[in-house]
A = this chain, B = another copy of it.
Amino acid sequence: MLDRIALVTDFGSRSPYVGQMRLRLDALLPRVPVIELESDLAPFRPDLAAYFLPALARDMPARTLYVSVVDPGVGSERAVLAVEADGDWYLGPDNGLLALVARRARRVRILRVDWRPERLSASFHGRDLFCPIAAKLVEQESLEWAPLDRGDMLGSDWPEELSKVIYADNYGNLITGIRAACLDESARMIVAGREVRCARTFCEVPAGQAFWYENCFGLVELAVNQGNARLALGLEVGDEVEVLGLSSPWGSLAGRGQGHQRA
């Protein structure tokens, strides 16, 4: 039912945490492919990652289990969720990280996973808790759980779109939490006191000029042709961006946003 596992974390691609998860999963699920999708999400920021996760998964192959760990509350009493959403599964802490995935799905089932392993470190649930749960989900083994209403997930009251930089990539491009389908091509953004307009692609603007465009994840991205937007605009992950002349902030656009889910 599930064909592969994708790992999405803030563990750091330089750190051994992803490698330890892979070793554990290899012993538990020797024939299931495990792919490191993203390990450098902004540390401790499920509020930002929540808007990246559904965009990252949007055009990916179905029947994927996304083991998602951005978990500043590890070791506290926060719950663990497994979300079935339109044919994929997501596993993660109940801290908002899965809130947008659950909200945007057409068919969704939310489980609070109550099963715990015999031995559980206080600080590395990715390895000690999420890996064995992932194995049970893939193997369709029984698991103690309770159903949860979408409205009872942490983050259920978070906004539809997030007008912040949620990720900066290797080129310095700045990815926001706003789905591009929510904006007209005439929309302008105010970033670091500068007005930034839309372009379809890098080749449409002169070298050195900032613009926004719909990126490959369906999100609004700020970029500079042949340049580094992060340095040029002086923005960091978590910073606000302002969308000009937006009459109603996202609420009425929620319907359009649904066009973004995988068909």
Min C-beta distance of A137 to chain B, whole Å: 18
Q: How many residues of A are counted as interface, with CB atoms below 8 angstroms from the partner's CB atoms?
A: 55
At the interface, yes or no: A47 with Cβ under 8 Å from chain B?
no
Q: Give the chain B neighbours of A150 by CB distance below 8 A.
A: none
Q: Give the chain B neighbours of A59 by CB distance below 8 A.
A: 20, 127
Interface SS of A by simple majority: loop
The CA-CA distance from A38 to B170 in the complex, in Å, is 14
Q: CB distance A43 to B170 under 8 Å?
A: yes
Choose, from A95-103, A200-208, A240-248, the stretch at the interface.
A200-208
Q: Which residue of B lies closest to A10 (CB)?
A: B170
Give which listed residue, B14, B17, B26, B203, contacts A76 with CB less than 8 A: B203
Q: Give the chain B neighbours of A76 by CB distance below 8 A.
A: 201, 203
Q: Which of A60, A74, A170 has the most CB of B within 10 A?
A: A170
Give which listed residue, B26, B38, B127, contacts A216 with CB less than 8 A: B127
Chain A 150-191 against B: per-residue CB contact (8 Å), 1 yes, 0 no? 000000000000000000011100000000000000000000
Q: Give the chain B neighbours of A147 by CB distance below 8 A.
A: none
Q: CB distance A201 to B35 under 8 Å?
A: no
Q: Give the chain B neighbours of A216 by CB distance below 8 A.
A: 121, 123-124, 127-128
The CA-CA distance from A2 to B252 in the complex, in Å, is 51
Q: CB distance A26 to B4 under 8 Å?
A: yes
Q: CB distance B201 to A122 under 8 Å?
A: yes
Q: CB distance B19 to A3 under 8 Å?
A: no
Known: A170-B43, A200-B122, A201-B123. A13 touches B13 (CB 8 A): yes
20 intermolecular pairs with C-beta atoms under 8 Å apart: A3-B26, A14-B40, A19-B37, A20-B56, A22-B35, A22-B36, A23-B60, A24-B60, A24-B61, A30-B33, A43-B171, A72-B226, A73-B203, A75-B201, A75-B202, A121-B216, A122-B200, A122-B213, A123-B215, A124-B216
